[in-house]
Structure 1
Amino acid sequence: MSRPRRTENGRIVSRPSLYKGRNAIERMFCRIKDFRRIATRYDRLARNFLAAVCIAATVSYWL
């Protein structure tokens, strides 16, 4: 992935496709953090936590 470049006038130029993809991922993580079980990590086992994250991601994707 390429980093944004500065032009001669100091303005940062980035590709819209990269911004769109990064924005989608940031919104997905924000939605997942809305699930209290995920944000506080109630599950002690990593496999249970991963399962809860998968379920939360699936629910937030379809809503």
Structure 2
Amino acid sequence: MLADKGYDGDAIRDALLVQGILPVIPPKSNRRAPANCDYRAYRDRNRIERMFNRLKQFRRIATRYDKTASSLGFLYLAAAKLWMPSFVNRALVFCPANSFT
């Protein structure tokens, strides 16, 4: 489980370990005995959180006007709009202009 420092408590860590879940939670700065944390795995949490923040820039998603399962189309459109610039830029790098002739 990836979580932020707000969930750094012995009770939460123990409950997760009992259920067989490995907690990846960085220790608080004021913790007397800091617990170990896999910071490489913790970076993934940051990437996921940034992705959700980009999706929330679309007002319909942020305010939850579409609450039904059939209205996921707008979420797909928003995700595609965010994904397309990186895809096009990557495709131009790998396909030189002379390769089409």
Q: Does 1:3 align with 2:23?
A: yes
Distance in 1 between residues matched to 2:38 and 2:84, nearest whole Å: 28
Gapped regions of structure 1 (runs ≥ 5) = none
Which protein shows a greater Rg? 2
Shift of 1:20: 1.3
TM, length-normalised to structure 2:
0.47
After TM superposition, list the pairs within 5 Å mapping 1:1-63 onto structure 2: 1=1, 2-4=22-24, 10-43=33-66, 45-48=68-71, 50-63=72-85
Aligned residues: 60
Q: Percentage identity across aligned positions?
A: 40
Cα RMSD, aligned residues only: 2.5
* Residue identity opposite 1:19 in structure 2: Y
State the secondary structure of the residue aligned to 1:60. Answer: helix
Query: What amino acid is aligned across from residue 37 of structure 1 in structure 2?
Result: R
**Structure with greater strand share of residues:** 1
Higher relative contact order (CA 8 A, sep 6+): 1
Unpaired runs of 5+ residues, structure 2, are 2-21, 86-101
TM-score w.r.t. structure 1 length?
Answer: 0.67
